[in-house]
Amino acid sequence: MRHSKLVPEVNAGSMADIAFLLLIFFLVTATISSDHGINRMLPRECPPGMDCKSNINERNILRIIINNNDEVMIENEVIPIEKLKDLTKVFIDNNGTGHCEYCNGLKSSNSSDNPKEAIVSLQNGKQTTYKTFIAVQNELTKAYYELRQTYSLNVFNKSSDKLTKEEIKKVKDAYPIILSEAEIKD
């Protein structure tokens, strides 16, 4: 009997095809998160049996409305979005002056009592575009960022990116972001 010394072979031609298909599968199904979102903290739920309604002085509410035509309005007056940041800064913290060189008299004399009591109320129409909504959110965030930056420079003599955790907490306590968002009711 004769035994052949043939070694069994595996067809490697299809291996490359399988590896390529697996690579494509993982590239297509893998998720790469690139969304950053808007950093906002939701209010805590009111404990049962407690009255969580508080009396808010009307003077401490800045009403911003984005209508269905993407027009930004403060206190029912249309303003350019470029003025929103400065108007918001003056409303939150007017340093006791009630003056805003960019405001044209809008709300500057009726600024909030205190940054800790300043509430920004943002309402949008059903047809408001996402682009305008995000642009308004960006302007509001810039206003708070600039106020916090100024505070950290004045109080701690350093920029906000060089603060310790305790100092950051003090800055956030001095200028808390109190933002109420709602859709305009028809």
pLDDT at residue number 84: 93
Residue 178's contacts (CB-CB under 8 Å, 6 or more residues apart) are 118, 119, 120
> Does 16 map to a domain?
no
> Does 13 map to a domain?
no
Packing angle, helices 84-92 and 130-156, rounded to 10: 50
Report yes or no on whether pTM surpasses 0.85: no
pLDDT at residue number 55: 76
In angstroms, rounded to a whole number, what is the distance separating the alpha carbons of residues 143 and 85?
5
> Does 17 map to a domain?
no
pLDDT tens-place values along the chain, 186 residues long? 566 677 777 777 778 888 889 999 888 888 776 666 666 666 667 778 777 777 778 888 899 999 999 999 998 899 999 999 999 998 988 654 444 444 444 444 457 778 888 889 899 988 999 899 999 999 999 999 999 999 999 999 988 888 899 999 999 998 998 888 877 765
In angstroms, rounded to a whole number, what is the distance separating the alpha carbons of residues 163 and 80?
34
72-74 vs 61-66, strand pairing mode:
antiparallel
> Does 18 map to a domain?
no
Number of compact structural domains in the chain: 1
Question: What residue numbers bound the domain in which 119 lies?
Answer: 58-183
> Does 146 map to a domain?
yes
> Does 165 map to a domain?
yes
What's the distance, Cα to Cα, between the start and end of the chain in Å? 96
pLDDT at residue number 97: 42
